[in-house]
Amino acid sequence: MIPAAFDYSRPQTLEEAVNLLAQHGEAAKLLAGGHSLIPALKLRLAQPKTVIDIGRIADLSYIREQDGRIVVGAMTTHHAIETSALLEEKCPLLPEVARHIGDVQVRNRGTLAGSIVHADPAADWPAAILALDAEMETVGPDGPRVIAAKKFFVDLFQTALRSDEILREIRFPVTAKSVAYVKTVQRASGFAIAGVAVVVDAPRMTVSVGITGVAAKAYRATAVETKLAGQSLSAENMAAAAAKAANRVEPLGDIHASSEYRAHLAQLNTRRALVLAASRA
């Protein structure tokens, strides 16, 4: 449980961090809250030659409304999101998801960007990132780049982020209150066995559904969305749509839940999240 030796740098600015990352390439790892990286170092699942601690870069932690969107800085903690009055008003799915993450210690240190870059298949944020169609703004040696949520999660623990890029901020739409996150929790860790985020856009009669914990990467349940597009959110319609929540995915099976059980939970939690979000419309 002792990490392999590594060099440690603590840049004060984003520019300095980008330069360090360019200099060390794949041999470097960024350190944010450390709640995923440090266990990986201790288990020697990650053995970087250099750890670049971005925790002291002052201007990476913020939540604000800008040009009609909500922008959240990479180093913003789960706790800051959970307790943000602005988010409660303008993007309530984010505090709702944050409340589901781990325990108070995890929420105090863990960051939004750290979680989504780590891309744990059982992490909570990816469901909301997908359901909200968030945009990830990165910065690297070639300047900034924007990655859409649908393209961000590539596979188990893999994202579209390049090894010389830093995720700088995440942008979300302003939404109504008609959102919900319903999760079946793995009791020992708090991670999701099946977590479903739903956004109901009542004026447009559309729903967006992001599902995490079920497959190797979080996904948009497009079959559910298509079935409900333009339909009234009656109990029958929502139940029929939710039955499609695990269509065209390969549910994971492990000691916590078989693949059949995960598929069942995806359907059940989708129905519950749809009912809850619709009741808030």
Ligand X SMILES: Cc1cc2nc3c(=O)[nH]c(=O)nc-3n(C[C@H](O)[C@H](O)[C@H](O)COP(=O)(O)OP(=O)(O)OC[C@H]3O[C@@H](n4cnc5c(N)ncnc54)[C@H](O)[C@@H]3O)c2cc1C
Question: Could you list the residues that contact ligand X (CB under 6 A)?
Answer: 29-37, 74, 101-102, 106, 110-111, 113-115, 117-118, 123-125, 161, 166-167, 189-191
Tokens of 101: 């993450």
Distance (Å, whole) CA 212 – CA 155: 12
133 neighbors 52 (Cβ within 8 angstroms) = no
Distance (Å, whole) CA 91 – CA 89: 6
Q: Which is nearer to ligand X, 74 or 242 (CB)?
A: 74
Q: Which residue has the tokens 């856009």?
A: 201
CB of 17 to ligand X, least distance (A): 9
Q: Which is nearer to ligand X, 74 or 80 (CB)?
A: 74
Which helix (H) or strand (E) covers residue 93, if one does?
Answer: helix 93-98
Q: Which is nearer to ligand X, 41 or 238 (CB)?
A: 41
Q: Which is nearer to ligand X, 116 or 241 (CB)?
A: 116
Distance (Å, whole) CA 119 – CA 191: 12
Q: Which residue has the tokens 């996904």?
A: 219
Distance (Å, whole) CA 162 – CA 238: 39
Q: What backbone phi and psi angles, to 5 degrees, belong to 104? A: -65, -35
CB of 115 to ligand X, least distance (A): 4
CB of 200 to ligand X, least distance (A): 23
CB of 163 to ligand X, least distance (A): 9
Q: Which is nearer to ligand X, 120 or 228 (CB)?
A: 120
CB of 146 to ligand X, least distance (A): 14
